[in-house]
């Protein structure tokens, strides 16, 4: 029960209590939590207090509101270790999820300056452009736009890219992604991205640019990706340099 004489404000105490119910698994991901009115009655606090506690948990992405349907417990985020070079399919497999892709574009396109620079080719040289909506158990979590350049890469245009690109590269094209350089940035998603990802325009996303090198350390792929900020957490293991 909440303590009105406690120095912590009531909404804060309620927030802690609700957080515990989520963290201890009493309320499961995807489950609807009791209505504001029910929470007021259970904890004997005002509607304002409940609203403030719930809003803060929504802002922290522990809960989400579905207009007209109620407030639900969020699913845990997809954790991705930054120091390992993995494909989307491997990342999902490691989490027991089914990876999927909806191909939005698959064509030869002239390399834009940033693409040409990353792939170390001349501007406007044709590259294979693959834009895909990535799905985790059928839920859209990111958009990846890959640009590929290596000998005979045009043959990829005839492949099924709803499956793993990296598996294709290694099994059919003799291209093994071995190293990558990545840059992460926070961004607000555009109207187009919002529609594809099924989120509101302006929702925070992680914008990633990756250049992938093959076994000969030649750049073969340059990718611009947008991942849902509410579904991804990137982490790194750090160590000090020893002399």
By CB under 6 A, name the binding residues for ligand 16G.
87-89, 99, 144, 146, 164-167, 208, 210, 212, 223, 225
Nearer to ligand 16G, 8 or 103 (CB): 103
Number of helices followed by number of strands (H, E) in the chain: 7, 10
In angstroms, the CA 108 to CA 129 distance is 6
Nearer to ligand 16G, 35 or 178 (CB): 178
In angstroms, the CA 212 to CA 182 distance is 9
- Distance of closest approach, residue 77 Cβ to ligand 16G, in angstroms: 15
Q: Name the DSSP letter for residue 6.
A: S
- Contact between 64 and 74 (Cβ < 8 Å): yes
3-state secondary structure (DSSP) of residue 158: helix
3-state secondary structure (DSSP) of residue 53: helix
Q: Name the DSSP letter for residue 29.
A: T
- 85 CB contacts (<8 Å, ≥6 apart)? 177, 178, 179, 180, 212
Nearer to ligand 16G, 212 or 214 (CB): 212
Nearer to ligand 16G, 45 or 99 (CB): 99
- Distance of closest approach, residue 85 Cβ to ligand 16G, in angstroms: 8
- Distance of closest approach, residue 225 Cβ to ligand 16G, in angstroms: 5
What is the b/e burial string over 23-34, where b = at least 16 CB atoms within 10 angstroms of the residue's CB?
eeeebeeeeebb
- Distance of closest approach, residue 61 Cβ to ligand 16G, in angstroms: 20
- Distance of closest approach, residue 166 Cβ to ligand 16G, in angstroms: 4
- Distance of closest approach, residue 80 Cβ to ligand 16G, in angstroms: 7
Nearer to ligand 16G, 52 or 89 (CB): 89
Nearer to ligand 16G, 10 or 115 (CB): 115
């Amino acid at each position: 029960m909440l303590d009105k004489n406690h120095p912590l404000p009531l909404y804060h105490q309620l927030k802690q209590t609700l957080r515990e119910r989520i963290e201890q698994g009493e309320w499961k991901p995807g489950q609807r939590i009791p209505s504001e009115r029910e929470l007021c009655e259970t904890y004997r606090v005002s509607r304002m207090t409940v609203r403030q506690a719930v809003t803060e948990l929504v802002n922290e992405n522990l809960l989400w509101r579905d207009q007209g349907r109620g407030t639900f417990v969020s699913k845990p985020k997809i954790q991705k270790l930054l120091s390992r070079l993995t494909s989307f399919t491997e990342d999902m497999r490691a989490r027991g999820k089914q990876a999927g892709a909806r191909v939005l574009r698959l064509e030869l396109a002239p390399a834009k300056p940033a693409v040409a620079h990353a792939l170390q080719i001349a501007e406007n040289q044709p590259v294979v452009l693959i834009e895909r909506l990535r799905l985790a158990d059928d839920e859209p979590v990111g958009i990846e736009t890959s640009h590929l350049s290596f000998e005979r890469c045009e043959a990829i245009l005839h492949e099924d890219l709803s499956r793993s690109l990296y598996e294709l590269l290694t099994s059919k094209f003799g291209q093994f992604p071995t190293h990558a350089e990545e840059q992460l940035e926070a961004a607000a998603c555009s109207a187009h991205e919002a529609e594809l990802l099924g989120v509101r325009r302006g929702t925070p996303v992680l914008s990633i640019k990756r250049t992938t090198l093959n076994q000969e350390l030649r750049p073969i792929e340059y990718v611009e990706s947008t991942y849902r900020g509410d579904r991804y957490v990137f982490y790194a293991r750090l160590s000090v340099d020893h002399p």
